[in-house]
Amino acid sequence: MPVNKPKIVVLGAGYGGLMTVTRLTKQLGTNDADITLVNKHNYHYETTWLHEASAGTLHHDRCRYQIKDVINSSRVNFVQATVESIDKEAKKVVTSDGELSYDYLVVALGAVPETFGIAGLKEYAFSISNINSARQLREHIELQFATYNTEAEKRPERLTIVVGGAGFTGIEFLGELGNRVPELCKEYDIDQKDVRIICVEAAPTALPGFDPELIDYAMNYLQGKGVEFKIGTAIKECTSEGIIVGKDDDTEEIKAETVVWAAGVRGNPIVEAAGFENMRGRVKVSPDLRVPENDDVFIIGDCSLIINEEINRPYPPTAQIAMQQGETVAKNLAALVKGGSLESFKPDIKGTVASLGEHDAVGVAFGKKLQGTKASAMKKIIDNRSLFMVGGPGLVLKKGKFKFF
C-alpha cells in the first residue's frame, strides 16, 4: 500500500476550482494523490448567470447544481465548510469544519464586490454575488412592487431601481430587468410609466473595452426598454433612501428603494490575510499559475492576476479564463506529483458576449462582432459550454439553456 500520498487541497468550487478537480481525477490515478475540495455550499453556481436569478427571469435552482453530481466522489474528498484562513508557512487551511493540511494548495475562492470605499454601499446596496444575494435581490424588488399599491400615498422610490455600474454585470442585469419589469407591473397592477430604472456609471462609457458600435446598440436597446443612463456620473454615497451622485457641492439625490452595486469585484480577502503579495485580493501569479514565493500554492480565477501582454493590462477576471486555468493547474499538479515539466498558462479568449435579456446580446466571438439574435444564440452556447466542460452532455441536458419546442 502506498504511503505518504501528496495531499492536494482545492479551495472553492467555482469555475476554476471545479474544473481543477474534475480534470485532476482524470490526470491522476487513485494512488497518486489525496484530493480534497472545500466549498461553503454543497452546490456550484454559475456566477455568470446570477444577473438572471437576481432579476427573477431565471430560477436560482437553474443556476446551480450539486457538486456531488459532477465530481468523482470515490476520488475526491468533498468538505462542505467555509474557508477561514490559510497558513502558508504551516501549509494548513483553517475551515469552519476544522483544519486541513496540504502539500499542494489551489486557491480558487473567487471574488467579492469592490465598493471603492463609497460610503453606505456595503450597508444599503444589493449585489449580484451568489445564490443567496441573487434571490434576496429578486425578492426585495418584488416586495417593492407588491407594496406600492398598498400605500395610500404612492411612493415613486418603491419603483425606482438604481444600478451602479454599466460594465458587463450591470448591463446584463439591466437587460433582464427590461424583461422582468413588465411582468412585475402586470402582477401587481402597476402602470409601467411609474417605474424608473437608472444606470449610473462613473467611467466615460458603458461596457468599457467593447466596440463603440456594440455599446451604442446595447444602450439604445436598453433605453428602448425604459433604462435611463447617467454615464460619467459617480455615486458619492448610498443611503437608506437611495444614492447621492455628483461631485463636491454639485450633488443630486436619487431616491430609490433598490440600489444594486454591479460596478466591480476584487479578490477574496482571505488571500490578502494569508500574506500573499496582492493587489485588491488578486495575486500576480507565475506563468505556471503558482505564487512566485510559494511554489506549493496555485492561485486561479478571480483571485489571480495575469497580464495581457498585448496591451500590458490585466485580463479581466472571467469564467472563461478561470476554467482554462483549472485545466492548466490540473496538468501542472500532475507534473509535480508524477514528475514532468510545468506548462505556462496562455488564455485563449474565444469571445465575450454580454446578454441584453433573453433574446438579445452584443459581443465578439471568434473575432467577429455580433448583435441581436445571433449574439443571443452565441451567448447561450457560451453558457452551455461551461456546463459541458465541467459536467459533460448530461449536465447540459439538465441545466442548459435551450428550448425543446
Q: Are 71 and 80 in contact (CB under 8 A)?
A: no
Per CB under 8 A, does 188 bind its own copies? yes
Which neighbouring-strand residues pair with 313? 308
Q: Are 53 and 72 in contact (CB under 8 A)?
A: no
Per CB under 8 A, does 146 bind its own copies? yes
Tell me which of 77, 147, 205, 286 binds its own copies, using CB under 8 A: 147
Residue 144, CA atoms < 13 Å, CB-side half-sphere:
20
Per CB under 8 A, does 30 bind its own copies? no
Residue 140, CA atoms < 13 Å, CB-side half-sphere:
20
Residue list 287-346, contact with its own copies (CB under 8 A)? none
The span from the CA of 198 to the CA of 212, in Å, is 21
Nine-digit cell at 29?
490515478
Residue list 119-138, contact with its own copies (CB under 8 A)? 132-133, 135-136, 138
Nearer to its own copies, 139 or 252 (CB): 139
Per CB under 8 A, does 140 bind its own copies? yes
Tell me which of 150, 240, 312, 341 binds its own copies, using CB under 8 A: 150
Per CB under 8 A, does 80 bind its own copies? no
Nearer to its own copies, 1 or 152 (CB): 152
Q: Which one, of 155, 172, 355, 366, lies nearest residue 242 by Cα? A: 155
Per CB under 8 A, does 44 bind its own copies? no
DSSP assignments along 173-199, one per residue: HHHHHHHHHHHHHHHTT--GGG-EEEE
Q: Are 401 and 380 in contact (CB under 8 A)?
A: yes
- For the question of residue 142 being annotated catalytic, the response is no
- Interface size with its own copies, residues (CB under 8 A): 15
Smallest gap from Cβ 130 to its own copies, in A, equals: 9
Nearer to its own copies, 31 or 150 (CB): 150
Nearer to its own copies, 27 or 133 (CB): 133
Backbone angles phi, psi at 137, to 5 degrees: -65, -45
Q: Which one, of 374, 364, 359, 399, lies nearest residue 46 by Cα? A: 399
Of the residues 46, 52, 172, 176, only one is catalytic, namely: 172
Tell me which of 87, 139, 213, 228 binds its own copies, using CB under 8 A: 139
Smallest gap from Cβ 398 to its own copies, in A, equals: 18
| Positions that interact with its own copies (CB under 8 A) | 132-133, 135-136, 138-140, 142-143, 146-147, 149-150, 187-188
Annotated catalytic residues are 172
